[in-house]
Amino acid sequence: MLFNSFLFANFFIIVFCLYLCLNHRWQNRMLLFASYFFYGTWDYRFLSLIIFSTIVDYYCGIAIYKLKDIKRKKIFLSLSIITNLSILGLFKYYNFFLANLQLLLSDMGLSFNPNLLQIILPVGISFYTFQSMSYTIDIYQRKMNPTNRFLEFALFVAFFPQLVAGPIERAKHLLPQIHNQRKITFDSLIEGLYLIFWGLFLKSFIADNLGVHIVDPIFQSNTTYNGTKVLIALYAFSFQIFCDFAGYSNIARGLAKCMGFNLNINFNLPYFSTNPKIFWQRWHISLSRWLKDYLYIPLGGNKNGTIKTYRNLFITMLLGGLWHGAAWTYLIWGAYHGILLITHRIINLLFPNIKQLKIDFLHKSWTFIKMIVFFHLICIGWLIFRSNSLTQAYQMFSSIFNNFEFSLKGIGLKTMVFYLWILIPIQVLQYKNNNLLAIFTFKPIIQVFLYLIIFYALMLFGVTEKNEFIYFQF
C-alpha cells in the first residue's frame, strides 16, 4: 500500500475518522491494528517477523532492566541484537555473502555449491529492526526505562507512517507520545496536511518524472555511454533520490502530525552542505544518528587517537553503505563517504584555520563555491550508488571525460529544469530563512497561489503509476 495511491488515501481517511472517535486507549489499539494491516498488504507472511522482533525486544528490555548482574544483562542484550541482526542477515545478506564466497573459492580452484534461498526482501526490514533494537540498547545504557505496556511497545515498532522507510525513531522520543494523551490542534493539522501535500509533490511530480524521463533510460542502457547524458542523468538522480526519500519522510511526518504525533525531521536541505560532516547531519538524519550512537561511539568514536578515529569513521560508513543493500555498489558507496569524512578531518587537522580562510575576490561567494564543489562530490557517490554494478559505474564515470559532447540537445536538460523549477526557489527560501516551513511566513494570498501551482503541477504532470519509493528496497 503506497502513500502515493488512492488505496492508501482511503485507508488513512478511515483510520483518521476512527481515530477522532476513539479515546486514547482505543486509539492506540486501532493504530496497532491499522499498522499491521498496512504492512500485511505488502505480504502478510512477514508480519510474523515484526511480531517476533517485538516480543523478543519487549521481554529482553524488561529483563535487562530488572537484572542486577551485568553478565546476565549482557546475555539478554545479546539475545536482542542477535535476533534482530539474524533476521536482517538472513533475508538481506545471506545470498549475497554465500554467492561471493562461492566466487572467491572458485577463483582458488575450490568447489562450493551453496543452497541459496529463494526469498524476497521484506519491505522496510532494515528500518524496523534498527528501531526495535535501539530500544534494548538504550535500556542497557540506562538512557530509559522499559515500558510494561506490550501493545503500546508493539505500536512503537510498527507505527505505520514511518514503518517501512523511517525516520528511525527512538523509543525515548516516540513511546511517550504513544503512552500519553495526544492533542490535535488546528496548526498541527494544517502543518501535517502541508507536509503530506509537499511530500506527494516531491515524489510524484519531481522524483518519478526524473526517474522515468531521464535517469532510468540512461542507467538501464547497455550501449556506449554519452558523457553529457550521463552527467545530466547523474544530476537528475541526485534530485530524484532526494525528492523520493524526503517526499516519503515528509508524508510520514505529515500523517503522524495529523494525529498529534511529532516524528523527527529526516532531511534538512542536505544539498546546501559545504562538507561531508554537515551533509550527514542533514541527510537521512535518523540513520546518521543511529550509526553514530550505536556503532561509531561504541567502536571508540574519536577518543582513542587520530588513526583509530579514522578507522571508526571508515567502518561506520562502510557498514552504513552495506545497510542500504547487499551489493558491492552500496559497500563502495559507504567506503567513499568514509574517505570523504576522513579527508575532511585531515584537511581541518593540517589547516586548522581553514574555516577562517578569506579570499578577497571570492569572499562573498566562498560558501556557495564550497556547496557546489561538495555537491559534485556527492554526485560521484550517487553514481556508484545508482549503478547496477561497479563495472557500469566505472564505464559511466569514464564517459564523462572520454565521450563528452558540448551539445545541449537531446540530453534531458530542459526536462530536468522543468521538474525542478519549483523546488529550487523554495529550497533557497528555506535555507535563507533556516526554516523548512518558510512558506508559512508568506502572506495568505501568496501561499494560496503557490499551493495552486503545486496542485496543478501534480494533476497535470504527476506520475500516476504506482511507483514504489526508492528506500522501500532497503
Catalytically annotated residues = 324
Q: How far is CA 429 from the centre of its chain?
A: 23
Which residues neighbour 67 within 8 Å (Cβ) at sequence distance 6 or greater? Answer: 73, 76
First to last CA, the chain: 16
Question: Nearest-CA neighbor of 159 among 177, 139, 134?
Answer: 177
Region of residue 284 (phi > 0: left; psi between -120 and 50: alpha; otherwise: beta): left
Q: How far is CA 290 from the centre of its chain?
A: 12
Quote the crossing angle between the two packed helices 390-402 and 328-350, to the nearest 10°. Answer: 60
Q: How does DSSP assign 288-341, residue by residue?
A: HHHHIIIIIHHHTTTSS-HHHHHHHHHHHHHHHHHHH-SSHHHHHHHHHHHHHH
Question: Nearest-CA neighbor of 81 among 45, 139, 13, 134?
Answer: 134
Q: What is the DSSP letter of 362?
A: G
The rounded distance, in Å, linking the Cα atoms of 82 and 204 is 38
Question: Nearest-CA neighbor of 204 among 409, 463, 472, 471?
Answer: 463
Residue with cell 476513539: 22
The rounded distance, in Å, linking the Cα atoms of 223 and 241 is 24
A 10 A CB-CB count for 251 gives: 27
A 10 A CB-CB count for 264 gives: 17
Q: What is the DSSP letter of 111?
A: -
Q: How far is CA 200 from the centre of its chain?
A: 16
